[in-house]
Amino acid sequence: MASVLDQMDAPRPVRIAARVLGWPFRWLGFEGDPDLPPITRAITALGPSYIKFGQILSTRPDFVGPEMAMQLRVLQDKLPPFPTDAARKVVERELGVPLESAFSEFSEPVAAASIAQVHRARLAESGREVAVKVLRPGIARAFRKDIDAFYLGARVVELVAPQARRLRPMDVVAHFDLTVQQELDLRTEAAAASEFKASTERDDGFSVPAVAWNYCGRSMMTLDWAEGVQLADLAALDAAGHDRQALADRVIQLFLRHALRDGYFHADMHQGNLKVAPNGDIVALDFGIMGRLDEYTRRVYAEILMGFIRKDYRRVAEVHFEAGYVPADRDVDLFAQALRAVGEPIFGMDASRISMGRLLAYLFEVTERFGMETRTELILLQRTMIVVEGVARMLNPHMNIWEAARPEVERYIRDNLGPQAVARDLWRTAKVLSRFGPHLPQTVDAVLRRERQPLTVVSKGRDFSGPVWFVAGALATALAAAVMTLVG
């Protein structure tokens, strides 16, 4: 861990603390696979949760250096597999039949990551070629141990470092805990794959394998086999004639399209989970971690991105305040000035010349200065943004992230923040309110028959009570019903 912090140029006190705290535990640690590079072996020995962190770092050579990023890429899908016999037993237990009855072919592992491994197989009934994903035995217990340690660490941080409470470490760990529990049930992942395929069916240049539902269970799932070149294999991409610059732009745009348009996106988009099919489509794999954004958050996110693209830092600052991301007692102009210091150095600059490590360090300073708390609903979005940008930069080190993002953000702004969007929102509100139409006569009658008492209105504290709300609600509902009648 100390070596990783060195590569990331972490503050000197943090690196010293990592070495001092880690020294007593060296002789207690699990040595790991000696065939793996030292850093990779150390992370693997720590457990599956740390492997997840290593996978993120593997997409960011600008953070940890090209050599370490290459070593960490093993964590994506080339970890030591568990025995095929153990996988066969899991499959037979889940399906309730001998493996040969379900699959006419069942290969040795073709990929292995922190939670599961994948076997190439063929369905006995139809001859359909599939990928069978099987959970590692004991993985739930291993994750539980990691997460319990994280809870303890988060509690200690909150007790000894009150200034860190704005980062909400306990909430962050709880969010991670929930994500892991979903990832450990492959029936949930199968449902996620099916939903994601349905929502992206019409996206050109992108595909999701279909689920073979009759061959799924809690500890295994089966998808169509996806042929293609892994996005990490740059030499193979070049040999196959794929345009890496176009692929880099498409990775960014697909992520933004799914996050903004659908509010449902792949939240683990490292190279090990992405292939390029022979026809040039990007194929997504591994749907254990998916992100969701409600419509309001999507609009906030799009406005922030569009503000940066247009260099309208004042509007970016205002959106942060409107959404409650920055405490209301802070100065919006000072915050806009701080955002300008973030945005200006990276506009128009070649991505290879941008130090994302220094940029994120400054962003962290800004969040601390303005008292910004961690938003757990945005954790997966922010994490995926870091990974996706890293993947795109590896495909095209000279790409302009903002120019790649502009078409999708502008399309979303046009469709969801213009006059048509306002009219659509009013129509949807009227439809909801109109459902209360049948209750209007009884509601109004009940209000008018109440005991005669003055309506209570306290304007300063905005505490409106009594039957005021009943009357207002009845009038609003009546108006909505009238609108629906006239329009429909």
Q: Are 258 and 264 in contact (CB under 8 A)?
A: yes
CA 301 to chain centre: 14
Q: Say how many C-beta atoms besides its own lie within 10 A of residue 282's C-beta.
A: 20
Amino acid code (one letter) for 322: E
CA 300 to chain centre: 16
Catalytic option among 62, 146, 203, 268:
268
Amino acid code (one letter) for 69: A
Asked about 281 being catalytic, the answer comes back as no
- Helix residue ranges per DSSP H, 241-397: 244-257, 295-309, 313-322, 332-343, 356-369, 379-395
In whole angstroms, give the CA distance from residue 371 to residue 318: 16
Known catalytic residues are 268
